[in-house]
């Protein structure tokens, strides 16, 4: 096994998987990839970096959410929730080939507009399914969208989820990014419109080839957040991007939640109208 900062978990997983390696190590979770013995299937294992009750609760909540909605074709599949010998829960997840961010920036160019619109409809279906289950994602961005081996986008990164019914709830927000809705950066209550903003910001990066509030060389994360809070995103301007898509993304990235489309389903409907007017095949909007 290559690179094992989470050595106890790595040693135990080594008895359950072959070709085990670390995909990503952070301050909260280590993500492994390996082939499960017996099933002979490649998968990803998500393990808390320590056994704190808080981190265990995060994993347990993610397992509960994915168990309910991961049959959706654009939500990462949960195969199993396991318990390690030291009591930590871990998730066995679908193995994907990378993130949407990786796919976009590998060639450093924007995605085709038709693909942007189709991706938006597919992810809107995943988010609408999540919302109907009663949960907000709160961390939609190109790095939390994975690409399957079949080239399909699939929503992942359910670390920041918040129950819609929890009035006055505040998301954990350990991942403050240029795609985070302004109201969440200010510590306000999240809503479905917060996820609409994250999806629209993701579509902006796909269409423009860069984030609306990307960090400049040497710029601090705090400075980026100040720009998100103090200014509107500049419209996407490119010859291949229809004005109606530019306007829709700008609308969905409005600083005020009440000024955005109120739901992912609404955003998907507007994206579908663009497909119709452009003469493109209609992307199926799938929701549970």
Q: Work out the pLDDT band at 215, boundaries 50, 70, 90.
A: confident
**pLDDT(185) > 50:** yes
Provide the edge-to-edge strand list for the sheet that holds 89-94: 17-25, 29-36, 41-48, 89-94, 78-83
Query: What percentage of the chain has pLDDT greater than the value 90?
Result: 64
pLDDT tens figures, 19-53: 889 988 877 899 999 999 888 889 999 999 877 88
The mean pLDDT value of the chain amounts to 90
pLDDT value at residue 245: 98
CA distance 223 to 241: 29
User: Which is more confident, 156 or 1?
Assistant: 156
| Dihedral, 220, 221, 227, 230 alpha carbons, nearest 10 | -120
Cα 225–Cα 230–Cα 232 angle in degrees, nearest 5: 100
pLDDT tens figures, 228-257: 888 899 999 888 999 999 999 999 999 999
CA distance 107 to 125: 27
Cβ 45 vs Cβ 31: under 8 Å: yes
Coil, helix or strand for 199?
helix
Distances (CA, A) of 154 to 15, 38, 93, 151, 163: 29, 26, 12, 9, 21
Residue 120 tokens, joined: 């938006």
Q: Which CATH number fits domain 98-278: 3.30.300.100, 3.40.109.40, 3.40.225.10, 1.10.510.10?
A: 1.10.510.10
Query: What percentage of the chain has pLDDT greater than the value 70?
Result: 92
**pLDDT(4) > 60:** no
DSSP state of 237: -
According to CATH, what is the number of the domain 7-94? Answer: 3.30.200.20
CA distance 187 to 277: 39
Tell me the residue length of the chain.
288
Coil, helix or strand for 157?
coil
CA distance 107 to 82: 38
**Spans of all domains in the chain:** 7-94, 98-278
Strand 145-147 and strand 153-155: the pairing is antiparallel
Cβ 22 vs Cβ 29: under 8 Å: no
pLDDT value at residue 79: 95
Q: Work out the pLDDT band at 2, boundaries 50, 70, 90.
A: very low
**pLDDT(135) > 80:** yes
Where on the phi/psi map is residue 209: left (φ > 0), alpha (ψ -120 to 50), or beta?
A: left
Distances (CA, A) of 132 to 68, 83, 173, 191, 200: 11, 29, 22, 12, 19
Question: b/e map of 255-274 (b: 16 or more CB within 10 Å)?
Answer: bebeebbebbbbbbebbbeb
Coil, helix or strand for 153?
strand
């Amino acid at each position: 096994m290559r690179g094992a900062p989470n050595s106890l978990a790595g040693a135990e997983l080594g008895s359950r998987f072959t070709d085990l390696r670390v995909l990503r190590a952070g301050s909260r979770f280590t993500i492994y990839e390996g082939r499960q013995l017996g099933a002979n299937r490649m998968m990803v294992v998500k393990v808390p970096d320590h056994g704190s009750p808080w981190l265990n609760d995060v994993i347990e909540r993610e397992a509960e959410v994915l168990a309910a909605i991961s049959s959706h074709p654009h939500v990462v599949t949960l195969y199993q929730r396991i318990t390690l010998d030291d009591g930590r829960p871990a998730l066995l997840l679908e193995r994907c080939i990378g993130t949407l961010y990786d796919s976009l920036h590998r060639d450093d160019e924007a995605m085709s507009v038709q693909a942007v619109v189709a991706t938006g409809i597919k992810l809107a279906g995943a988010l609408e399914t999540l919302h109907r289950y009663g949960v907000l994602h709160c961390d939609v961005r190109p790095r939390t969208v994975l690409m399957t081996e079949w080239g399909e986008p699939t929503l992942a990164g359910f670390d920041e989820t918040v129950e819609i019914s929890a009035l006055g709830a505040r998301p954990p927000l350990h991942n403050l990014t240029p795609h985070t809705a302004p109201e969440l950066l200010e510590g306000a209550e999240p809503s479905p419109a917060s996820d609409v903003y994250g999806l629209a910001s993701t579509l902006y990066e796909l269409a423009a080839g860069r984030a609306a509030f990307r960090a400049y060389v040497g710029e601090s994360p705090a400075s980026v957040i100040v720009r998100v809070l103090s200014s509107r995103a500049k419209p996407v301007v490119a010859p291949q991007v229809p004005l109606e898509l530019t306007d829709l993304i700008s609308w969905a990235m409005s600083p005020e939640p009440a000024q955005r489309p109120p739901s992912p389903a609404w955003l998907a409907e507007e994206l579908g109208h663009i497909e119709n007017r452009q003469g493109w095949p209609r992307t199926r909007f799938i929701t549970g």
